[in-house]
Amino acid sequence: MAERGPNEALTHRVPRGRREAIAIRNDAIKEGVVVAQRLEGKRVAVLVANEGIEQVELTEPWRAIENAGGRPELLAPEGGTAQAMNHLDKADTFPVDKAVGDADPGDYDALMLPGGVANPDSLRASPQAVDFVRAFVDAGKPVAAICHAPWTLVEADAVRGRTLTSWPSLQTDIRNAGGTWVDEEVHNDHGLVTSRKPDDLPAFCVKMVEEFAEGKHPVHS
């Protein structure tokens, strides 16, 4: 499979009806709220495992960040490439900008965590990835996570006392970790932006960019 940048692969291997919907939604994002909330000068860490990312949950937020003037960078436990998926089928591979162990959380303004079942489960087993996520939460920097991605937040002890949403099967894990789970299209808790599934991406991208533009929030205690 050829390597592609996340923006290049936005519509690749996506069913036609969904592809058209994505294009319409991204046009709306580009022309609407996302452009109004500028991200010039802001670096956004996009943290994934080297395999198992849900492709559309990587490419749509990536494009929204770029459309708002931000600079997303793809980080993973290992350098090289990251293999994305369309549900259970292999999709594109993406070049990793930097191994997470070589990245300094202080160099980034915000963190975005795509979903995919295998992706966050793999990240949970990487102490460097978990510590990287925790550093953003401890610093009050905005974090956006969609679908299964809050699994990594649970591992980083980042949901205690917070309210968030996710893919429904994670709700018990979130509650057991001290968080409050809600069934909402998108939920924002002091810069922690979460959504449930790919269908929520339009609302997720708008709120994500809004919070990334706002910047640091008071550290949650």
Q: Give yes or no for a contact between 156 and 150, defined as CB atoms under 8 angstroms apart.
A: no
Q: Give the burial class of 183: count Cβ atoms within 10 A of its Cβ; 0-12 exposed, 13-18 middle, 19 or more buried.
A: exposed
Rounded-to-integer distance, Cα 96 and Cα 155, Å: 23
User: Which one is catalytic: 12, 148, 187, 220?
Assistant: 148
The tokens for 177 are 């970790």
Instruction: Decide if 147 is catalytic.
Output: yes
Give yes or no: 205 in active site.
Answer: no
**Distance set, CA 151 to CA 62, 92, 133, 135, 175 (Å):** 20, 23, 11, 16, 12
- Both tokens of residue 18? 């969904």
Catalytic residue among 12, 87, 147, 217: 147
Question: Could you list the active site residues?
Answer: 147-148
